Amino acid sequence: MNKIELLLHGWDSCYEKEDWYPPLTDALEGLTAEQANWRPEGEHVNTIAENLTHLIFYKERLLYRMTGEESEYPEMTNDDTFAVVSASVDEWEATLARLQAVHQGIRDRIARWEENDFEYVYPNRSQSVGRWVNSLIMHDAYHTGQIMFIRKLQGSWPSRRSFE
């Protein structure tokens, strides 16, 4: 397995293929807009919808670099990347569609890479695009864990889960 195949394995595993942890699509399966926008009482915790908006923001930054649509991050703080437009059903469905589109768009481009593309460094970046994708895989896994924890708090995650 070469670097690109390994990267694609991680990319697929964090989104839709079961490996050592549930993929993001499993963590979101059957989730309603109301559940996605639920926040536990007490200390500030991001909602599932906010976590997803944050994931999409960083995936879009990479995709827009890959397509040449963007060379700089927009002027915003990391906290701004969690902002949800509305808690409506339509907005939730649009968010899920946006996630799928950006994830697939990046995957399609990685699948066409030659070995040397892994090491390419975009202008204004300090690391290779291969390392950037690997960081996004770990970022997805981290936030997928948060999403599952929130679902456990709200009682919408199964107490037992089969992953075979």
Q: Tens of pLDDT along 1-28?
A: 899 999 999 999 999 999 888 999 999 9
Does the predicted model carry a pTM greater than 0.85? yes
Mean pLDDT of the chain: 93
* pLDDT for the residue 163: 61
- List, for the chain, all residue ranges whose pLDDT scores fall below the cut of 70: 161-164
Tell me the CA distances in angstroms from 57 to 7, 77, 79, one per residue in order: 20, 11, 11
CATH number of 3-154: 1.20.120.450
* pLDDT for the residue 25: 97
Q: How far apart are CA 154 and CA 63, in angstroms?
A: 33
* pLDDT for the residue 162: 67
* pLDDT for the residue 82: 95
Residue 7: CB atoms within 10 A of its CB come to 22
